[in-house]
Amino acid sequence: MKPVFNSAQSRRADEIMQVEYGYLGVLLMETAGRRAAHLIQKLYPESRRFVIVAGSGNNGGDGLVIARYLYQKRKELFILLTKPPAELSALARIQYDILTRFGLTCHLLAPDTLRKLQAFSEAEPKPILIDALIGVGLEQTLKPMQASLIEFLRGLNLRVIAIDLPSGLSGDTGALINVPLQCEHTITFQTAKICHLVTPAALYCGRVHVIDIGIYPEVIERIGARTFWVERRSLCRFLPLRPPDAHKGKFGHALLIGGSRGKGGAAALATLAALRSGAGLATALIPGSVAASFQRRTLSAMSLPYGDEHLPYLTEAAALWARPYLSGKSAVGIGPGLGHTPETQAFLRELLPHLRVPCVFDADALNILAEDQTLLSLLPNQAILTPHPGEAARLLKTTAEQIQARRLESALHLAQKTDAIVLLKGANPIVATPKGESYFFSLMEPALATAGTGDVLTGLITGFLAQGVAPLAATLLGVEVHGLAARFALRRSHPASLTAASLLKYIGLSLQSIQEGK
């Protein structure tokens, strides 16, 4: 896992390096700018014209270092300073003075300068815009001058690289304080920042590149990150070992609970996904109305149908009947296709006190918990909630729009409220723990926005839990395998045609990719 810092943690790491280790700030800036310039040339090897917009702070100083190294590679530059040299930060002023010794011209922000910039930008070949205006220090809305400049730059319609982060975002949240430029790439230093990985802010960052600028590992460790970027290769250690003499009993027994009339496919998808994850056995507890269709879909799984073909939902009586069957199960997943009715609410109320193994709650199980929040006190100790924004909104008594605007804060709030691990689904999923830790994925896959994919995810996590994987690790594995399966499927299909059933075919390839660290 890679640590992810907020603005204060980033500043603290720089401070420790300079004050306690005697590492000059100008050297950190020099390293950041030099390596960023080298990366920019790799990203745009054919580009020879660049616009660098440099603010008055250290982010602007990084931009001036980049300008110097691009100049040394004979690039044609237009450097725009937003403040006179006397108003630059100490480190940025050093970089400005070095630039002038090279004979470069820095244009001071003014109406005439913007006309020159527009002319430079309209000439062919089109330049690349390097945004080094503000950086991580923004804590409130842009000042009018800054906002106007962003709008002017947006109108140039140039390809954009952000330095540290797109100007107008806060490094501390995924919310939009302002609407920044749409970037193709963001180059940040030492650690990613929260806005790089949490939507909606992450939507403006493009591909994020983290450059090592020499901050010592012990300094990073000392800061004590509570937010992490999940690396695929770090998940390999969580995969259960499969020794040559293993048998199905070694890999646990997953119980999937759900299904209702017209929604039997959800329970089938979840049960098959549990088996595909490696669970030795998987059984579905379903109402009798879906038993026949379930068995046609899932020849390799077992079922516990309650009632006859006329019973549409699981009921309180079904929970009483199912108690003995909880024995021997190593994990439970509840919710896919369950239905949100008085009958299923009574079923869940009766069942919850008897769950003693790790459990995943999804779909209608979450909607029932949201409607009757007294049930939250009955959640088992190792519970995992997997809401999409609408379900999270119902649990937190707010709107889906509010959840999406504050995804990280919402996930952490829900984890603390329920004392459970929370997976907030959507673009760039977030996993939050009751201890205040959060884990980010750079998985924007709109093809997953289709019916049934959440049921597959529930089955994956339940299957990993059944094999003895710890709840947090099982959740992280489930998210990564789910996203990878979608990417493998899309190599042979258009995103619009992806179905949840097609994901099941690629779970094995996803597991192999994680095991090989690819």
Q: 401-437 pLDDT, tens per residue? A: 999 999 999 999 999 999 999 999 988 899 999 999 9
pLDDT of residue 495: 85
Q: What is the mean pLDDT of residues 331-347?
A: 97
- Average pLDDT value for the chain: 93
pLDDT for 245 beyond 90? no
* Residue 445 pLDDT level (bands cut at 50, 70, 90): confident
* Residue 139 pLDDT level (bands cut at 50, 70, 90): low
Q: What is the mean pLDDT of residues 40-45?
A: 97
* Residue 5 pLDDT level (bands cut at 50, 70, 90): very high
CATH number of 250-515: 3.40.1190.20
Whether the CB-CB separation of 36 and 4 falls below 8 Å is answered with: no
Percent of the chain predicted with pLDDT > 70: 99
Q: What is the mean pLDDT of residues 209-223?
A: 94
Least confident of 233-237, 275-279, 350-354: 233-237
Beta bridge partners of 76: 49
* Residue 243 pLDDT level (bands cut at 50, 70, 90): confident
Whether the CB-CB separation of 343 and 316 falls below 8 Å is answered with: yes
pLDDT for 293 beyond 70? yes
Q: How many CB atoms lie within 10 A of CB 112?
A: 9
Mode of pairing for the β-strands spanning 227-229 and 2-5: antiparallel
pLDDT for 176 beyond 80? yes
pLDDT of residue 50: 98
DSSP 350-375: HHGGG--S-EEE-THHHHHHHH-GGG
Whether the CB-CB separation of 384 and 361 falls below 8 Å is answered with: yes
165/10 Cα distance (integer angstroms): 13
Q: What is the pTM of this model?
A: 0.90
pLDDT of residue 1: 87
Residue 49 token pair: 């014209």
Query: What's domain 2-229's architecture?
Result: 3-Layer(aba) Sandwich (3.40)
pLDDT for 247 beyond 90? no
pLDDT of residue 195: 93
Q: What is the mean pLDDT of residues 340-361?
A: 97
* Residue 137 pLDDT level (bands cut at 50, 70, 90): low
Each as own residue / partner, the long-range contacts of residues 140-149 (CB below 8 Å, 24 or more positions apart, any chain) are: 140/177, 141/177, 141/178, 142/167, 142/168, 142/177, 142/178, 145/82, 145/109, 146/82, 147/178, 149/53, 149/82, 149/109
| Sequence-ordered strand ranges (E) for 102-149 | 106-108, 128-132
pLDDT of residue 448: 84
pLDDT for 297 beyond 90? no
Hunting for tokens 């999804």 — which residue is that? Answer: 362
Domain borders along the chain are 2-229, 250-515
pLDDT for 32 beyond 70? yes
Q: Which residues of 375-397 are buried (b: 16+ CB within 10 A; e: fewer)?
A: bbeebbebbbbbbbbebbbbbbe
pLDDT for 251 beyond 80? yes
pLDDT for 189 beyond 80? yes
Beta bridge partners of 332: 255, 359
SS3 content of the chain, % helix, strand, coil (to 5): 50, 15, 35
